[in-house]
Amino acid sequence: MRTKIYPLVLFTLAPLLAGVADFNGRWNLTVQGEPRARAWWLEVENAGSAQMRGKFVGAPGGAVDVIPVMRIEGDELVWEFERVYRRNPQVDDPQDKAKGVYRAKIVKGDLAGSFAVAGRPGPGLTFTGKRAPKLDDKDDGSWQAGKPVELFNGKDLKGWSPRVAGRPLAWYVKDGAMHNEAGATDIVSEAKFMNFKLHIEYRVAIKSNSGIGLRGRYEIQIYGDQGRPPSSHGNGALYSRITPAVNATLPPEQWQTFDITLIGRTLTVVLNGKTLIDRQEVEGLTAIATDPNEGQPGPIILQGDHGPVEFRKIVVTPLVKRGKAS
């Protein structure tokens, strides 16, 4: 009997272990009914072992958060946060924490999952996940400039739309610059780009907060933080992911200039002539993400819902491999 049992045990365990390991990796999540049209991001390592750990970008937070509770239940990956899940910011207590529970299964190589707040009625949210693609393009000197594209004509908001469908634009043009109204939505360019250089000029009030979304996925933070130490949430950071080498922020009454290069996952950020990020890897989405399809071109996003900001010259120069037509 023993010689018959052992092969059966090995046979039944092998698919289970393989299935658990399939959760490992980086995932881009599309959320059905997400109120701010945000995409989420998940990273899982060592699934099913005592060393299992993960990171998450998604509601309601904005940072790259280390997942404090993660486990396997049958064929499901489960992770949890104790957070303030506020349904109505005008009424709910900002200190009233609850347990958010996220569940996902592997279905035909993708993730299919759900999110709900423990103890609250309602169906919560559902999401699907695709593995984050490998992007082979590198900032290796083999690229040349194509034809520059002006995204702002200095007169009106042609070529821009609200990030959330049905929301009012709530931006206007005055004295040749784009301005956001209080509580404005983020706006998204109609034009999409893959590998490019971006030149953008902006002005921001002290402690005011905005951002620039690259490919509709990766936020370069804008913050009025002159004189403060560099941080992953500070001016010029790849939000919550890469801390600038220096803080090159000018006083709030002055116009400032970003020159940003994005090739594949290789990012360079220059602020007011000083290099903050030098050809570093973008690991994945940030909280501004509205387009999870990392292998495809995406739009430029201008964040408008955090504080007053002005933008003027916005020029994207596509980059092409040397010897190829632009």
User: Which residues of the chain register pLDDT less than 70?
Assistant: 1-18, 86-95, 324-326
pLDDT reported for residue 325: 57
Q: For residues 104 and 212, state if they share a domain.
A: no
Query: Is 137 among the domain residues?
Result: no
Query: Is 136 among the domain residues?
Result: no
pLDDT reported for residue 37: 86
Full residue range of the structural domain in which residue 156 is found: 143-321
pLDDT reported for residue 4: 41
Q: For residues 168 and 288, state if they share a domain.
A: yes
Q: For residues 188 and 283, state if they share a domain.
A: yes
**CATH number, domain with residue 147:** 2.60.120.560
pLDDT reported for residue 3: 43
Q: For residues 90 and 185, state if they share a domain.
A: no
pLDDT reported for residue 11: 33
DSSP letter for each residue of 219-240: EEEEE--TTSPP-TTSTT-BTT
- The token duo for 8 is 């059966």
Q: For residues 109 and 163, state if they share a domain.
A: no
Of 89, 108, 131, the one marking the end of a domain is: 131
Q: For residues 149 and 72, state if they share a domain.
A: no
**CATH number, domain with residue 84:** 2.40.128
Of 131, 155, 185, the one marking the end of a domain is: 131
Q: For residues 183 and 256, state if they share a domain.
A: yes
DSSP letter for each residue of 132-165: PPP-----SS-EEE---EES--SS--TTEEESST
Predicted TM-score of the model (pTM): 0.89
DSSP letter for each residue of 156-213: --TTEEESSTTS---EEEETTEEEEPTTPPPEEEEEEESSEEEEEEEEE-TT-EEEEE
